Amino acid sequence: MSFVEGMIICFIGGWLNSYLYSYHLKKKNRAWIFWFAVIWIAAVMSLDVLIYLNIIDVRLILLPWIKIPKGVDVGRYYMWNPGLILGIQFKSQIIPGTGIVWEIWALMIFISYIWWFTIGQNLGRFMYGRLTYERGVWYLLRSTKMIKRSKEKLEKKLAKNN
């Protein structure tokens, strides 16, 4: 993954985290939400760092249409060119990834993965509700037939528990 794809995957992870919390996990399983966030961000960040440092060779794990020029640092070139996975090659005279300034930018982008996860999580909370009993904005987009079925299921569960 390049930096842009890593950010998108972290955003999706945050969204998924809030969805799981609001619909599938009960209060007693709240620790799973924290561990899901830690594992998701750590996995994406560690994979990207390994690619950036050329420990994982991009040419071995990616699709054949990705062409990386010879004589460049493969991992850094791949991470700084977000269109390579889609087959889009940017024609640039500057090859990023060499020098301390590029390393500082890369470090800041890696740290921003946490921020992208949080944005996805907050947007998911807005859509699905912040707490397990809230419905969020997504509830407004559902058809009334689905809402009636949900209320009937909830009433059946309450009647069964009492």
Overall pTM > 0.75: no
Number of domains in the chain: 1
Helix (H, G, I), strand (E, B) or coil at 35: helix
For residues 120 and 21, the answer to whether their CB atoms sit within 8 Å is no
Q: Residue 126's domain spans which residues?
A: 3-161
pLDDT given at position 139: 59
113 alpha-carbon distance from chain centroid: 8
pLDDT in tens, the chain (162 residues): 688 888 999 999 998 988 887 767 666 677 888 888 999 999 999 999 998 888 887 777 666 667 777 777 878 888 888 777 777 776 665 566 567 888 888 899 999 999 999 999 888 888 877 665 556 665 556 555 655 667 777 788 888 876
State which amino acid sits at residue 109: I
pLDDT given at position 136: 63
C-alpha distances out from residue 8 to 12, 83, 94, Å = 6, 13, 25
Alpha carbons 147 and 154: distance in angstroms, whole number: 11
